[in-house]
Structure formats: structure tokens, C-alpha cells
């Protein structure tokens, strides 16, 4: 016999990714057959989890309010850092998936990814496949597509900039930044942004088989390989990445200036918030 479970959120509440240190009584929720994936905002103001009831159905509880029943709920509910926006995906009895954002339902879809949010909750998005077999990316309720494959919507912290990658029927990859399309490429990775959204970048492979890095629309390369993603200071005034040239050596590019060659580079470059200071670690030929 399965044991039913209750969850009590009393006193010091510790959930993955955040701690709420006030002496509070958030109440007891249950009984449930199973409970998974407690999650919440850093300040503990918004929290949630999913649970299975004795009827075999799954539910999502957000700040004590129950959403469901569903046939399946994917992973944990997602939250913006400030708690203003939340969401999750769920499967209904019709076999279709839906994405719920702040209580509003989007769908039906054949497949749907977890929603993503800017830190302040002003911008949100997710990727999904419709019954026609095509993929779409939904940003703040606006649909982009159809694509053969698409995914990984990303945002600046304050939501002023956003982007994602996608593949079209021609088999080429594209990166969409704030609604503008960059490409075609043989391969591309999701974009990244400075916190304030003023700077952006991504890496992509062109038909020559070489990798390039685009920073605010300007292309740097060609390179044999580009490791990780470009990095930015919070205000977008400074940027950098590291890449390998045909000689097999690694170089670090900071604000357009090249440093190297190196045998290896330990990690991506780091910047102060205002971009005035930066640094990286690297291994030279002397070992």
C-alpha cells in the first residue's frame, strides 16, 4: 500500500535555491501520494511544488492555490527571481500539453518546454511543437514560427532583450534577437545578454566549417572552435570570449583586442559590473 504524504511548511523553510528565515506558518498541504520538486523565489515570497493525489492525477500548488488535475506535470514550477511571474507545463486527458503562465493557459501542444523568465518577470517565453509537427517559440504571448526545431528562449535580466535559436526547412540555423533574424548558419547556439540588455552575442558555424562569434551584430572569426558563450559586464560596456585558431592555440578576445596564444584557457573572462575591470586565467607554453 502506498503511503500518503503531507507537506508542512512551518518555521524555517528550506527549498532548493532559496531560504526563508522568518518565523512563519505557511500551513500543511496534503495528503498526497507523492510530492516532488519544491521550488521558489530567492526571497521566499513565492513557492510551489507538484504532487500526485490518490486519484492518480497530478496537481501544481503555487502559494497554496491548486492547479489541476493533470495527467502529467513536467518538472517543477518556474518563477522569475522577483516572483512576479510563474509557470509550468502540464498534460491534460486529451494527451496534449499546455503551458500555464500566471494562471493563463497556452496550448494545446504536442510537446512543450518549461517556461523561462527574465529576472524581473517582465518577459517570458517557451518553445513548443504543435500538431503539425512544427516548432514555435512564444515570447510574451507572441508566436514565432513555424520552424523545424526551435528552443532555448533567453532574456536579459530586465527583459529588454530576448532571443532564441531555430532551424528552418532548409536545414539551416538562425538566431532571432529581439525579433530580428540572423543567419543562415550551419549550426548556432542560443544567445546571451548583458544584464541590462544593451549587449548580446552568440556563436555560430558558417558554411566554411569555421566558428564565428557575433557581438551586437559584428562578426568575429573565423575560429576552429569557440568555447562556451561570450560574456558581458552587467552594463554591456565590456565583453569577451575565448576561441581556438587553426594553429591549435587558444586566444581570449576582450572588447575586440586579442590576447594569446595560450595552451589552454581555464574559464571564460570575468568582468566588473561597470566593465572597467576584467580578467581571465590561461596556461602558457611554459606549462
pLDDT in tens, the chain (287 residues): 233 344 444 322 333 333 332 223 456 777 889 887 788 898 888 999 999 999 999 999 999 999 999 999 987 899 999 999 999 999 999 999 999 999 999 999 999 999 999 999 999 999 999 999 999 999 999 999 999 999 989 999 999 999 999 999 999 999 999 999 999 999 999 999 999 999 999 999 999 999 999 999 999 999 999 988 899 999 999 999 999 999 999 999 999 999 999 998 877 899 999 999 999 888 888 86
Size (the chain), residues = 287
Q: Is residue 283 part of a domain?
A: yes
20, part of any domain: no
Q: How far apart are CA 108 and CA 99, in angstroms?
A: 8
The predicted pLDDT at position 23 comes to: 27
Which pLDDT does position 265 carry in this prediction?
Answer: 86
In this structure, what DSSP letter does residue 93 have? T
CA distances from 203 to 89, 145, 241, 274, 284 (A): 29, 21, 10, 24, 25
β strands within 156-256, DSSP E: 162-167, 173-177, 180-185, 187-188, 192-193, 200-205, 211-215, 218-223, 225-232, 239-244, 250-254
The pTM assigned to this predicted structure is 0.86
Evaluate whether residue 172 is within a structural domain. no
What is the count of structural domains for the chain?
1
How far, in Å, CA of 40 to CA of 169, rounded?
Answer: 39
Instruction: In whole angstroms, give the CA distance from residue 122 to residue 157.
Output: 9
Residue 74 is assigned to a structural domain of this protein: no
In a domain, 199, yes or no: yes
Neighbours of 33 (CB within 10 A): 17
Compute the distance between CA of residue 88 and CA of residue 274 in angstroms, rounded to an integer.
35
Question: Using CA atoms, how far apart are residues 30 and 231, in angstroms rounded to an integer?
Answer: 45
Task: Flag whether 56 is in a domain.
Answer: no
Residue 254 lies in a domain: yes
Residue 245, domain extent = 194-287
Position 234 in a domain: yes
CA 111 – CA 129 distance, rounded (Å):
5
pLDDT at 267: 77
pLDDT at position 26: 59
Amino acid at each position: 500500500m502506498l503511503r500518503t504524504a503531507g507537506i508542512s511548511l512551518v518555521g524555517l523553510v528550506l527549498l532548493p535555491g532559496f531560504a526563508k528565515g522568518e518565523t512563519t506558518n505557511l500551513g500543511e498541504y496534503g495528503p498526497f501520494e507523492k510530492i516532488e520538486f519544491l521550488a521558489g523565489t530567492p526571497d521566499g515570497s513565492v513557492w510551489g511544488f507538484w504532487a500526485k493525489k490518490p486519484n492518480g492525477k497530478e496537481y501544481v500548488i503555487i502559494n497554496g492555490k491548486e492547479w489541476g488535475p493533470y495527467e502529467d506535470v513536467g518538472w517543477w514550477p518556474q518563477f522569475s527571481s522577483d516572483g512576479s511571474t510563474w509557470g509550468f507545463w502540464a498534460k491534460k486527458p486529451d494527451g496534449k500539453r499546455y503551458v500555464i503562465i500566471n494562471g493563463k493557459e497556452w496550448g494545446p501542444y504536442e510537446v512543450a518546454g518549461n517556461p523561462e523568465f527574465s529576472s524581473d518577470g517582465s518577459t517570458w517565453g517557451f518553445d513548443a511543437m504543435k500538431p503539425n509537427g512544427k516548432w514555435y517559440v512564444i515570447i510574451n504571448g507572441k508566436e514565432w514560427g513555424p520552424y523545424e526545431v526551435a528552443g532555448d528562449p533567453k532574456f536579459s535580466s530586465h527583459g529588454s532583450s530576448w532571443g532564441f535559436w531555430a532551424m528552418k526547412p532548409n536545414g539551416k540555423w538562425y538566431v532571432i534577437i529581439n525579433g530580428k533574424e540572423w543567419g543562415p548558419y550551419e549550426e548556432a547556439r542560443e544567445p546571451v545578454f548583458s544584464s541590462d540588455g544593451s549587449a548580446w552575442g552568440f556563436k555560430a558555424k558558417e558554411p566554411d566549417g569555421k566558428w564565428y562569434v557575433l557581438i551586437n551584430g559584428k562578426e568575429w572569426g573565423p575560429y576552429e572552435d569557440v568555447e562556451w558563450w561570450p560574456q558581458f559586464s552587467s552594463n554591456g560596456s565590456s565583453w569577451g570570449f575565448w576561441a581556438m585558431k587553426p594553429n591549435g592555440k587558444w586566444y581570449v578576445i576582450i572588447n575586440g583586442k586579442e590576447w594569446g596564444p595560450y595552451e589552454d584557457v581555464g574559464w571564460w573572462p570575468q568582468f566588473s559590473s561597470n566593465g572597467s575591470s576584467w580578467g581571465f586565467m590561461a596556461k602558457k607554453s611554459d606549462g
